Amino acid sequence: MDNAVLILEKTSFDNSDLDTVLGDATTFRLQLKNDIYHSYLTRPPPDVNEVKATLVCPATAKHLEKYTQQEMFLVTETEQDYRDITLPFLLESQFSLQWVYNILEGRAEQNHVVFDDPDPENGFVLLPDLKWDQKEATQLYLVAICRRRNIKSLRDLTGNHLPLLENVFFQTQAEVLSHFGVPASQLRCYLHYQPSYYHLHVHITHLAADVPGSGVERAHLLTDVIHDLRRDGDVCRTRPLSFPLRSNDELLARFRDAGRL
């Protein structure tokens, strides 16, 4: 029998649904009353009470590891650690990139694509992230997947990639404004280090959205990366980079075995 990961999340309310959420069909059960403070449990009607279900099936052992709640540890990786520990590990064990290639080659999610720049060097596909229910622009979560296939992560970026990064940055801002009405000043564009999928992609989220993975221990703002690379084209390859790892992550074991934790 196959393993599966199922993630259940209550979706946010749409402001236009407020009349239904608070309508006659909604029941309120008092939980607590203290002075002017009240708390209730309420059951809005099913059509405004959806649950987003994300299924990974069949799920590999690595997926089960990724989605199991665990203690986290912060690792600081030097240039040498990357060469000796991280790179060999990720070359032998990483998630399949098939879903990425399906998007780039037009075999999946094509009806959701927001923007497609076909340039093989600097082009990218912009589309909703799997995590976004695509209901509210204030919860916007898009992913820009670069067409070039030889850039694994932030670690590989050099000054030569500036035209690609600038293209993603500026075109994404313009497209998000025209499609969703969200201005650049309300967008968070960032790269994860470590990512789960080692094919360069940029996360684009609304500043108002409290999304997992946007904390300082994992997210690197694209604008900061661009400015750093303009000053020193080797900075991403050479600077120490810190990131969190789950307690049962094999990469954490390798850092421990190397005496780096």
Q: Which segments are annotated as binding site for substrate?
A: 99, 109, 129, 131, 192-203
The one-letter amino acid code at 76 reads T
Q: Contact region for ligand M7G (CB under 6 A) — 79-87, 169-177, 195-203, 223-231?
A: 195-203
Choose one: 28-36, 157-165, 192-200, 232-240; the region binding ligand M7G (CB under 6 A).
Answer: 192-200
For ligand M7G, what does the binding mask look like between residues 83 and 122, x meaning CB under 6 A? Answer: ----------------x---------x-------------
Residue 197, interface with ligand M7G (CB under 6 A)? yes
What does the chain come to in residues?
A: 261
What angle do the packed helices 222-231 and 162-180 form, to 10 degrees? 150
Q: How far apart are CA 178 and CA 154, in angstroms?
A: 28
> What is the C-alpha to C-alpha distance for residues 125 and 153, in angstroms, rounded to an integer?
17
| Nearest residue to 249 via CA among 38, 39, 73 | 73
Q: Does 129 bind ligand M7G (CB under 6 A)?
A: yes
Q: Are 216 and 192 in contact (CB under 8 A)?
A: no
| Catalytic status, residue 201 | yes
Binding residues, as ranges, are 99, 109, 129, 131, 192-203
The SS3 of residue 28 is strand
From the candidates 38, 63, 112, 201, give the one annotated as an active-site residue. Answer: 201
DSSP secondary structure, 52-104, as one string? EEEEESSPPHHHHHHHS---EEEEEE-HHHIIIIIHHHHHHS----HHHHHHH
Interface pick for ligand M7G out of 51, 72, 130, 174 (rule CB under 6 A): 130
**Could you say whether residue 127 binds ligand M7G (CB under 6 A)?**
yes
Assess 219 for contact with ligand M7G (CB under 6 A): no
- Considering the rule CB under 6 A, would residue 196 count as an interface residue with ligand M7G? yes
Between 212 and 259, name the residue whose CB sits nearer to ligand M7G: 212
Identify which of residues 192 and 206 has a Cβ nearer to ligand M7G in the complex: 192
Q: Which residues contact 89 (CB under 8 A, 6 or more apart)?
A: 250, 251, 254
State in angstroms the smallest separation of the CB of 28 from ligand M7G: 35
Give me the residues that bind ligand M7G (CB under 6 A), please. Answer: 99, 109, 127-131, 143, 192, 195-197, 201, 203, 213
Q: Which residues belong to the active site?
A: 201
